[in-house]
Amino acid sequence: MIQTIYIEKEIIDHPRVEQLLARFKSAEKIVCDHYGEIFNRKAQNFRFQKKNPALILAKKHKGYVLPSPDAYGIGGDKNYYFSHMMNCIYDCRYCFLQGMYRSANYVLFVNYEDTHNEIRRIANEHPDKICHFFSGYDCDSLALEPVTQFVENTLPLFDELANAWIELRTKSTQVRSLLDRPVVKNCVVAFSLSPDNIVKNLEDKTPSLQKRIEAMKKLQDKGWALGLRFDPLIYSDNYQQSYSEMFQQVFDAISSDKVHSISLGNFRMPEKFFKNMIKLYPDEKMFAGPLLEKDGMTSYPDHLEYEMMSFCEQKILDFIPAERFFPCH
């Protein structure tokens, strides 16, 4: 799968690098000074590179954990996000990563412990607050877990921290490592879900809705807390029917009583990223409308956002109480 691996000189002897190189024995290895030389090069084509991304092994030096935007949260007092990777094995047409980055190569920051130390520092700095840490902003939290083992290395930290929760945001069915280990009570495995027609048309390479539901059910049966993330809502002529069917399909399979939280959010994208995405996929129907630009963001018109959010909110509240529902306005 990986044919080329770039390695920053500084971490060439890191044990995690040695393990990864042993795993991809036949890949071409190229040593570099800094991942940015490869990742930020001009004149790269994200769409073309997505067909065969290289892996770049790097060290993160700052920005290990960042405060989340105010509008985002699932009931914690303080919210933060972090990523151990940049880019993703999936290829969702609405993904902001393709508008934000020049390169589709995967960057894996191997110094996990620096992120762990920062999480520990923040949690200890706020002993009377519940701190939520969201994983998977620049990547999918679980999709490459068999290769990165980031989650396996990170969960023990949350056993130690009484006031900290971790959210693992994913579309993946790579849940074997979670099923094989004891449940971490303060971990939410949060699945991003979309109706089947959207998965088929806009979420290339991702597991089907049914496969995600099966993975969720296995986790729930084992005692893991589940999050359901209906974000971004995507408009289509029959969105009411397709979203209604999806909610029914999900709640027929899993126990709503034990769902930790549900969030809901509309499609929205910084205008600059959106323009880059149109250049990559000029024929993509989703980009044709009904979207508009407002205050530097591309989104659906207000009335449509309101209509879709209200419709889905009403449906969701048939299944769970309002205190576990977190719409992102």
**Quick one: 140 or 305, whose CB is closer to ligand SF4?**
140
CB of 123: closest distance to ligand SF4 in angstroms?
A: 26
CA–CA distance, 173 with 223 (Å, rounded to integer): 17
DSSP-assigned beta bridge partners for residue 189: 168, 226
CA atoms within a 13 Å half-sphere pointing along the CA-CB vector of 62: 0
Q: Is 315 left (phi over 0), alpha (psi -120 to 50) or beta?
A: alpha
**Quick one: 159 or 204, whose CB is closer to ligand SF4?**
204
**Quick one: 273 or 311, whose CB is closer to ligand SF4?**
273
CB of 93: closest distance to ligand SF4 in angstroms?
A: 9
**Quick one: 230 or 319, whose CB is closer to ligand SF4?**
230
Q: Which long-range contacts (CB under 8 A, 24 or more apart) does 121-126 make?
A: 122/65, 122/78, 122/80, 122/164, 123/161, 123/163, 123/164, 126/77, 126/78, 126/163
**Quick one: 144 or 155, whose CB is closer to ligand SF4?**
144
Q: Nearest-5° angle of CA 60, CA 65, CA 66?
A: 120
CB of 170: closest distance to ligand SF4 in angstroms?
A: 8
CB burial string 244-273: b at 16+ within 10 A, e below: bebbebbbeebebeebbbbbbbbbbbeeeb
CB of 92: closest distance to ligand SF4 in angstroms?
A: 3
**Quick one: 132 or 212, whose CB is closer to ligand SF4?**
212
CB of 166: closest distance to ligand SF4 in angstroms?
A: 17
CB of 236: closest distance to ligand SF4 in angstroms?
A: 18
Class of residue 294 by CB neighbours under 10 A (exposed 0-12, middle 13-18, buried 19+): exposed
CB of 221: closest distance to ligand SF4 in angstroms?
A: 24
Instruction: Please report, as ranges, the residues that interact with ligand SF4 according to CB under 6 A.
Output: 88, 90-92, 95, 97, 139-140, 171
Residues 6+ apart with CB under 8 A from 62: none
Polymer length in residues for the chain: 329
**Quick one: 93 or 260, whose CB is closer to ligand SF4?**
93
Element holding 98 (H helix, E strand): helix 97-100
